[in-house]
Chain A
Amino acid sequence: MLAVKLMGASKRYSDVIAVDYLDLDIEKGEIFGLLGPNGSGKSTTIKMMLGLVKPDSGSVNVLGINIEDDPVAVKRKIGYVPESPRLYEFLTGLEFLDFTGDVYGMEIEEKKKRIEEFLKALDLEGREGDIISSYSEGMKQKVIIISAIMHKPELLLLDEPLSGLDPRSARIVKDLLRQLASQGVTTIMSTHILEIAQAMCDRIAIMYEGRLLALGTMEELRQKARMPESGLEDIFLKLTGTADVKPTVEALLK
């Protein structure tokens, strides 16, 4: 069963093609990695899946629903972590999570239980009553991750989810995502940290200038790049044509 299906989805901003006729099938329960250099269209693709960006052509089907037909129904089933998120800084962490629970229509008891569990797990206990403007970037990231997961979504759209997290919290989030995947929750994450993508993702898509350069498991990517022993970093640099950084470094040192 497919969690997400993109058919010929494309998006253009003035002269820039952000996403170029993208076809993508993502299975339920899969942890799917979206990789690519800056400006390759990863964030736009994720926003199209959420209905935040309307494709110029093609269609986006999420959890069996066309996003344009019933965006509210789709959003109810999604948890989203944007790249560099802005929170309501005048609320406390606790108030923001309480607000999130109410927005997703969570029952009072369940909301209380989930918030307390997550605050404890991600070491936010003791600071939950402070207003968010006083939080560090990492603490804000923790709050946003909790708000994406606490209502038990079927699909997680995560744009650089682990940025700013301390090692312990990052480990908890990674383990949590694996557990959720085993329960059938689909995770689509965009990241620049290739080690994380290699370690966590079932399949990886490498995007470049809005197009899909390669798609598959680590093994399939190695075969495609004809680099059987290599890690994801080398494969990524080779496929995106950015491998030869030596002249650039030498020029900078002159």
Chain B
Amino acid sequence: MNWKNVLLLVTINIKSYRLIRGSQFRRFREHRLMVYALYVGACFIGGLVGWVIGNFYAGVSDLTLRGLLYQGATQLFISLPTLALLYSLIFTQMSQVQRMGAKVTIQPLYWFPITWKEHTLASIIASILGAPLTITIFVGSSIFAASIFIGLVPLAALTILALLASVILASVTTEILKSVQTKLGGVVTKAAGRAAVWVRLFGTLLFFLVFYLIYFSLYYAVTPIGLVQSIADVQLALWFIPYVWLGMILFTFVSSLWLEMLVLSIASLIFIYALFMAAVRVNVRFGLYEIPSIRISSGAYIPKAGLLARLGFSSLEAAIIKKDFRSVTRRRELMYIFIFPIVMIIAPLLSSMRTAGGTQLPAAFSSFMFAYLTLLPGALIAVTLGTLIIGSEGESVWFLYSSPISSKSLVRAKYSFVALFSLVVAFICSTVSGILTGPSPRIIIIGLIEALFLVFSLTMVSLTFGIKGADFRELPPRPRMIRPVWGLINMVVCVAIGLAIIAPLIPVGLRLMFPSIDLAPSLFSGLPEYYVYVSLLASGIIAVVVTWVFYRMAVNSAEGLLLKAVGVED
């Protein structure tokens, strides 16, 4: 093993962040002093937090409570390595799948004098540096500082070592899964044939669904104390799984089982090394694996006029809409658009399971759930996709610039696609919410109309900012699509406009949620029956005005974009 090579590769990996961040951030990120300052800062803040917690413990005079806190701290320390491992794996896996669309080139391995062992080790170290190490240092220093007051210094020191080991374990596992996923993706693509695109889309969605279910069930299904307790118990029951051995080392330490502790420590080290060797082997086999090409169509070419033409779109607009639909279903970096509504349904559902505790949902919560699921997912898709749809053209944007496309056609095509897509999402989510919460048909219709207003207006707002802030660079690991500052501006403006659109209906909503509570008698109690229709009309007028104003702005911006040909460098 040439350690100089490993360090060089780690440096290169860190520098790859240049492609993601701006030049200002680059100077900050790569400055050695700043890197150390980050870790020192995490250590300092963690120590401070630990000191506050420790002081709190020291201030408790009730002996029973002190005993409980002591016991709780011990349980927490024991469960921390497994908990850290669990969270690291969930998050690295989710980000891994999102990054798979970007082709990270490791071809220099073909001809540079670098071994796979060096490459794998560098990759593992590089993925530990940054956020994982900062969080570990923060947690480590806080438990150490707190343990001085609690009287658990030896256990805390051992926990810190176990935490570091669990971060390494998570990183090595991710390294293996990364290559296996690539190979597996290739096998599935090959086997699926012409259905490969759909298999890939639904496979990715399923993957996220499973991980989010695990994550949210961890987060929502039990209380934090319950989670710590259950992990401490479960890892004892699952002693045969090497991933829980780090936690068990701490348990054996607390229980003074020295021989078991020694055996588990040695076994853990062997396991990490074996896993590393497995990662090297997997990388040797699949590290440079190229996913086979996807064949989507074969046989005779039959062009069709299509539904879009019958709906009144010009052939040019219909072509752009069709292309954009293919773009979101085939590009991995855009697939997460589909994840939003799924997560937005799962999260409150699991939360409601805990809140309700198996009993019927309270009326206020039920009404809130209906409004949340009817209005938010569609609007969120409109905002997200609206800002990205122009930038998603990427470096292929030259084709649009060189084609006979007018600014109006471009805006119409992009707007129609985003609005239609968001409407479908809004409709599906409101149907799910209707089934779950069972509101009256009148409420369902009102909700749908309001969702329609939000989608139509917020799509136009986001498209306008998406044109203004479009970023066509396609550098690894992912295409940029929107400049962050414009994304932020869009989010703020959309929140303000969204609130303005739903504002007239807020009294109706509050009335539905809290029928028995007289929130503001003068305003709400005397609401006439027709108020709901007046408020819908007012809401609609606001939406139409916003859409029209932003349409004018979008066309002007598109004209500028097509004239300036932004992103076409000489």
B149 to chain A, nearest CB (A): 58
The answer, yes or no, to whether B322 is at the interface (CB within 8 Å) is yes
A90 touches B404 (CB 8 A): no
Which B residues are in CB contact (< 8 Å) with A134?
Answer: 292-294
- Give the residue of A72, A94, A105 whose beta carbon is less than 8 angstroms from that of B406: A72
Are A52 and B395 closer than 8 Å at their CB atoms?
no
Cβ of A102 under 8 Å from chain B? yes
List residues of A whose CB falls within 8 A of some B CB: 13, 18, 43-44, 47, 50-54, 71-73, 75-76, 78, 80, 82, 85-92, 94-95, 98-99, 101-105, 108, 111-112, 115-116, 128-131, 133-134
B92 → A minimal CB distance (Å): 25
User: A18 near B319 (CB under 8 angstroms)?
Assistant: no
Q: For residues 292 through 328 of chain B, which have their beta carbon under 8 Å from a beta carbon of chain A?
A: 292-299, 301-305, 314-316, 318-320, 322-323, 326-327
Pick the contact of B301: A71, A75, A80, A94 (CB < 8 A): A94
Determine whether the beta carbon of B319 is less than 8 Å from that of A103: yes
- Please judge, given known A-B contacts A53-B568, A90-B330, A104-B404, whether A112 and B303 are in contact too, CB under 8 Å: yes
Known contacts A78-B402, A88-B327, A104-B404, A130 near B293 by CB under 8 Å? yes
Residues of A within 8 A of B296 (CB): 92, 95, 129-131
**Can you name the residue of chain B whose Cβ is closest to the Cβ of A75?**
B404
- The reply to whether the CB of B562 lies closer than 8 angstroms to some CB of chain A is yes
Which A residues are CB-close (under 8 A) to B314?
A: 105
Known: A115-B301, A129-B296, A134-B294. A103 touches B401 (CB 8 A): no
Task: Name the B residues within 8 Å of A76 (CB-CB).
Answer: 404
Q: A13-B570, A72-B405, A103-B403 are in contact. Are A130 and B303 (CB under 8 A)?
A: no
Interface centre among B398, B402, B406 (most CB of A within 10 A): B402
Knowing A54-B564, A99-B322, A102-B316 touch, does A131 contact B305 (C-beta < 8 A)?
A: no
* Cβ–Cβ contact B297 & A92, under 8 A: yes
Q: Are A86 and B319 in contact (CB under 8 A)?
A: no
Is B327 touching A90 in the complex (CB atoms < 8 A)? yes
A-binding residues in B (CB < 8 A): 292-299, 301-305, 314-316, 318-320, 322-323, 326-327, 330-331, 394-396, 398-399, 401-406, 474, 562-565, 568, 570
B303 in complex: contacting residue of A44, A80, A89, A98, CB < 8 Å = A98
> Is there an interface contact between B303 and A108, defined as CB atoms closer than 8 Å?
yes
CB distance from A104 to the nearest CB of B (A): 7
Q: List 27 A-B contacts (CB under 8 A).
A: A43-B570, A52-B401, A53-B568, A72-B406, A73-B404, A75-B405, A76-B404, A78-B402, A88-B327, A90-B326, A90-B330, A91-B326, A94-B297, A98-B303, A99-B319, A103-B403, A104-B403, A112-B301, A112-B302, A128-B301, A129-B297, A130-B294, A130-B295, A130-B296, A131-B296, A134-B292, A134-B294
Instruction: Chain A residues near B304: list those with CB within 8 A.
Output: 108
Would A50 and B402 count as touching, CB distance under 8 A?
yes
Q: Smallest distance from the beta carbon of A103 to chain B beta carbons, Å?
A: 5
Most buried by A among B304, B314, B323: B323
The CA-CA distance from A133 to B474 in the complex, in Å, is: 14
Of chain A, the residue at the smallest CB distance from B297 is A129
Q: Quick check: B401 and A133 within 8 Å, CB to CB?
A: no
The reply to whether B326 and A87 form a contact with Cβ atoms under 8 Å apart is no
Q: Is the CB of A54 within 8 A of B563?
A: yes
In the assembled complex, which residues on chain B have CB atoms less than 8 Å from the CB atom of A82?
Answer: 398, 402
How far is it, in angstroms, between the C-alpha of A13 and the C-alpha of B295 when the chains are bound? 43
User: Are A86 and B395 within 8 A (Cβ)?
Assistant: yes
